[in-house]
Structure 1
Amino acid sequence: MYRARDHVENERWLAELQQAADRLELGTAARSRATDLFLSTVSEWDDPSDRDADSRQAVVAASLYAGALIESDQRSQSEVAEAAGVARLTVQQRWKDLLDEAGLEPPTW
């Protein structure tokens, strides 16, 4: 769960998420799920050794991929990475852990 303050503190990143979702032409449900995932887990991903912007951009990408997957509006990791401005490997390495942090079970396929 997240607080209203999390939304305010992450306005920039939520705007980035929406812009990437526009580029991916994601539906409303996938966008909403990605936003919830981002806000629910972004504080878990703040790594003092990482640069803050890189860490949050990675969470944006992982949230988009996972949100689209959950809502059956799937896009490839490469498509999401390109839309979010990160490497495909970033999406690959983060999305399952993001689901786990949100209390969701990643698929086992």
Structure 2
Amino acid sequence: MYRASDRVEHAEWLSDIERAADSLGLGTTARSHAVDLFLSTIPDEDRSKRATMAASVYVGALLASEERSQSAVAEATGVSRLTIQQRWKGLLESAGLEAPEW
């Protein structure tokens, strides 16, 4: 869970989520999931925030049934595909959800 003040404190990252969502053509539900996931799991280290933001966008799209490839999300968020691959399941599980068994 996060505080309302987290939205203000991390406005730059939320703007990055919106830019990536625009680039990927994601709807409001995917964007909302991505923002909620990011704000609920913000890492302490600044260098980890971009990876968490990217994984949040990927998982938000999955939860909204607007799947995008890891490569497409990586390109839209400025991280490597491997970064998303390594983080998305942990992010999903930290939100109390189970990762699919594809």
Where on the TM-score scale, by shorter chain, does this alignment land: which range? over 0.9
The counterpart of 2:65, out of the listed 72, 77, 81, is 72
Residues in 2 aligned to 1:2 and 1:12: alpha-carbon distance in whole angstroms: 16
Which segments of 5 or more consecutive residues in structure 1 lack a partner in the other structure?
A: none
TM-score by length of structure 1 reads 0.89
Structure 1 counterpart of 2:75? 82
TM-score by length of structure 2 reads 0.95
> Aligned partner of 1:39: which letter?
L
Structure 1 counterpart of 2:44? 46
Residues in 2 aligned to 1:71 and 1:99: alpha-carbon distance in whole angstroms: 13
Which segments of 5 or more consecutive residues in structure 2 lack a partner in the other structure?
A: none
Alignment of 1:6-17 (within 5 A): 6-17=6-17
Structure 2 counterpart of 1:21? 21
Detail structure 1 runs of 4+ shifted over 6 Å in the superposition. none
Matched positions, count:
102
Residues in 2 aligned to 1:46 and 1:68: alpha-carbon distance in whole angstroms: 24
User: Offset at 1:81?
Assistant: 0.2
Residues in 1 aligned to 2:29 and 2:72: alpha-carbon distance in whole angstroms: 18
Root mean square deviation of aligned Cα: 0.9
> Aligned partner of 2:44: which letter?
D
> Aligned partner of 1:84: which letter?
T
